[in-house]
A and B are shown apart, each in its own frame.
Chain A
Amino acid sequence: MSPLLAMFVAERLVKLSGVDLAIIAFYFLLVLVIGFYLKKFANTGEDFFLAGREMTAWVAGLAFVSANLGSLELLGWAGSAYQYGIMAAHWYWVGAIPAMVFLGLVMMPFYYISKTHSVPGYLKLRYGTEAAGLSAITFAVMTILMSGVNMYAMAVVMKVVLGWDINFSIWVSSLTVGVYVAAGGLFSAIFNEVLQFFLIWFGALLIPILGLIETHGWAGMVARIQQNFPGQDFTHMWAPMGSFANNPMGINWIGIVFGLGAVQSMGYWTTDFLVVQRVLSARDIRSAKLAPIIGSFFKMAVPLIVILPGLLGLAVLPMHLVPASDLQAGQHSYNEVLPLMLARYCGPGLLGLGITALVAGFMAGMAGNVSAFATVWTYDIYRPYLNKTAPDKHYVSMGRWCTIIGLIISIGTAYLVMGFASIMDYVQALFGFFIAPLFGTVLLGMLWKRVTRWAGFLGLLAGTLSSLTMFLLMHKIDPDKWVPIFARSPLAKGLAQDMYQSLWACVTCVVVTVLVTLVTKPKPDQELVGLVYSLTPIAHEEHASIFHKPAFWGAVAMVLFVVLQIIFW
């Protein structure tokens, strides 16, 4: 049995009835119908890769937040909530909301005004082909790897929860995704993400509702957790952050505020092209600014269907879940808390809805990564380096073929994943070392016109290499020696190490970029118009009412965010 499969139980958790199967089958049918319907609208490059740039702020905002609401996140963070308590919500609040508002109000105008197709596309305009090429190649590898991991994780969950054959799940899901993304491009991916958003909410929302009824409310839940796990604090977010020893994650407030909030979260939400591509599909600059802010309100609510079920699991499940590495026959791992809660409350029909939500989440994860891969390959690798002068139709055709080829490589990746012990940790770390320095490069490029072509490239390279080095030192070479140095405490667990690794990688990128900038020649101002803050006339909405201004809603989101921190302090 593969190690990832062993993370879950060996026996199937639930048995589906006819109505459950009908619900799953209808979902597959509907996404295929939508894919074929949208094919006729995806004719030009802008249509296929940017959904025609005609999405409303609401559609772009929901797709933006949905691209990060895949089933890997649902299962993983519900498991983390069981393991670490409500501290896991940091990844939904301080680890998302400020960055989303920042993207909408500060960074989106530059992406949108420069009319780029992608984040590497912006780097090409701002710095040149070196930084753009490095970013495009790393990103293409990441998307394929993530697509394959989504595919394999879905197959594992289907195997464990339903007893389905792994090969069957991999091939059916990838064929379906391949057909509808190759047909409708980003149109299909975004439509599917919006469907997935509703499915996940309606499929998972019953768990906290029924859970809170069973525990007689929040206070009853807290009392039961204290009874089941005496002496442990699972229901406060910031109070245990005073020192590394006070919480099970082995992290302090500096790691959360600066590592997660200031670097990793900012890096992910503002430079990861998978999510930024959704906002670039907005129909005008106001919609593009508003989309991430709309997304931030939904993101704030997601802990209700992810973190709360994990906490309720601590309160109501008759057994104690264990880490995947300590799993023995008859036990359940943290990762199973969401399926266990689903099976606890949901009978025929509702169970099918919950399982369909998980399937949709995995498939949207694949579709999002594959559509981002097709864009980055076609516009940032194929067109600038291999075929500069082909007509638009050729690039659309290349995008369609890339979708299929990307999925075939993803299938290979999915089978490859079976041989690795903790692939999810590796993917998270890989993602971290790429995204954190990229944030430094993009932000400096947007805010400081002096930054030079070579400073951008060398800063990004140095940040990425330093992050890779830290990862190898902390995970492979000598954890006992290097974890206390980089993560500032021998108690730091995986997530805490990731946060500090991101922080130092970004600092390295910024320091190298600044130093190289000081000794190299800057680009002339006229080449930076529309790309740098001081040289770009930003369109303001002077004539819009306050309720139509993104800045107003950004402020509301930040106030709500602060209120939530105080409530769950």
Chain B
Amino acid sequence: MSEKHHIIPVWFFVGVLLFVYGILIFISGIAELSHPPDTVLSNLHAPVWWGALLIVLGGAYCLIFRPKNT
């Protein structure tokens, strides 16, 4: 995508977004382990594993598409 203009790939920004969101959601999931919110299936602690998934995916995107590699 960036041959003509050398633009940072959009995937890098996607990675930043997912990574930051993953951290915020993971931390809030950890914080609510002892006081789960009043939602259905809160015993599954979705924010913890969903946040971890976002961190891994976002981190991978950031690493693979970081500007110096383009």
A residues in contact (CB < 8 Å) with B:
17, 19, 22-23, 26-27, 30, 34, 37-38, 41, 47, 52, 54-56, 59, 187, 190-191, 194-195, 198-199, 202, 206, 210, 213-214, 283, 316, 343-350, 352-353
**Given the complex of chains A and B, what is the CA–CA distance between A90 and B27 in angstroms?**
40
Q: Return chain B residues, CB-CB under 8 Å to A213.
A: 41, 44
Given A19-B28, A191-B13, A210-B41, are A349 and B51 neighbors across the interface (CB < 8 Å)? yes
Q: Return chain A residues, CB-CB under 8 Å to B13.
A: 30, 34, 191, 195
Given A347-B47, A350-B50, are A198 and B14 neighbors across the interface (CB < 8 Å)? yes
Most-contacted residue by chain B among A27, A59, A213, A348 (CB, 10 A): A348
**Given the complex of chains A and B, what is the CA–CA distance between A306 and B1 in angstroms?**
30
Q: Return chain B residues, CB-CB under 8 Å to A56.
A: 1
Q: Return chain B residues, CB-CB under 8 Å to A353.
A: 21, 25
Contacting pair A350 B47 (CB below 8 A): yes
**Given the complex of chains A and B, what is the CA–CA distance between A353 and B5 in angstroms?**
32
Given A198-B17, A347-B39, are A206 and B46 neighbors across the interface (CB < 8 Å)? yes
Q: Return chain A residues, CB-CB under 8 Å to B37.
A: 347-348
Confirm or deny: B56 has a beta carbon within 8 angstroms of a beta carbon on chain A: no
Contacting pair B7 A19 (CB below 8 A): no
B residues in contact (CB < 8 Å) with A:
1-5, 7-8, 10, 13-14, 16-18, 20-21, 24-25, 27-29, 32, 36-42, 44, 46-47, 50-51, 54
Contacting pair A347 B32 (CB below 8 A): yes
Q: Return chain B residues, CB-CB under 8 Å to A345.
A: 39-41, 46
Q: Return chain B residues, CB-CB under 8 Å to A47.
A: 5
With both chains docked as a complex, state the minimum distance between the C-beta of B60 and any C-beta of chain A, in angstroms: 13
**Given the complex of chains A and B, what is the CA–CA distance between A59 and B54 in angstroms?**
20
Contacting pair B2 A54 (CB below 8 A): yes
Contacting pair B51 A344 (CB below 8 A): no
With both chains docked as a complex, state the minimum distance between the C-beta of A528 and any C-beta of chain B, in angstroms: 31
**Given the complex of chains A and B, what is the CA–CA distance between A26 and B50 in angstroms?**
18
Contacting pair B39 A214 (CB below 8 A): no
Contacting pair A54 B4 (CB below 8 A): yes
Contacting pair A54 B28 (CB below 8 A): no
**Given the complex of chains A and B, what is the CA–CA distance between A346 and B42 in angstroms?**
8
A344 touches which of B25, B40, B47, B50 (Cβ 8 Å)? B40
Most-contacted residue by chain B among A17, A54, A349 (CB, 10 A): A349
Give B4's nearest chain A residue, CB to CB. A54
Given A26-B21, A55-B1, A349-B24, are A210 and B40 neighbors across the interface (CB < 8 Å)? yes
Q: Return chain B residues, CB-CB under 8 Å to A349.
A: 24-25, 28-29, 47, 51
Q: Return chain A residues, CB-CB under 8 Å to B44.
A: 210, 213
Given A345-B46, A348-B32, A348-B37, are A54 and B3 neighbors across the interface (CB < 8 Å)? yes
List 13 contacting pairs A-B, 8 Å CB cutoff, sorted by A. Answer: A23-B21, A34-B13, A54-B4, A54-B5, A59-B1, A210-B44, A213-B44, A214-B40, A344-B39, A345-B39, A347-B47, A353-B21, A353-B25
Most-contacted residue by chain B among A47, A191, A202 (CB, 10 A): A202
**Given the complex of chains A and B, what is the CA–CA distance between A23 and B27 in angstroms?**
13
**Given the complex of chains A and B, what is the CA–CA distance between A316 and B39 in angstroms?**
13
Contacting pair B18 A202 (CB below 8 A): yes
Contacting pair A52 B4 (CB below 8 A): yes
B50 touches which of A198, A206, A352 (Cβ 8 Å)? A206
Contacting pair A198 B18 (CB below 8 A): yes
With both chains docked as a complex, state the minimum distance between the C-beta of B15 and any C-beta of chain A, in angstroms: 10
Contacting pair A195 B1 (CB below 8 A): no
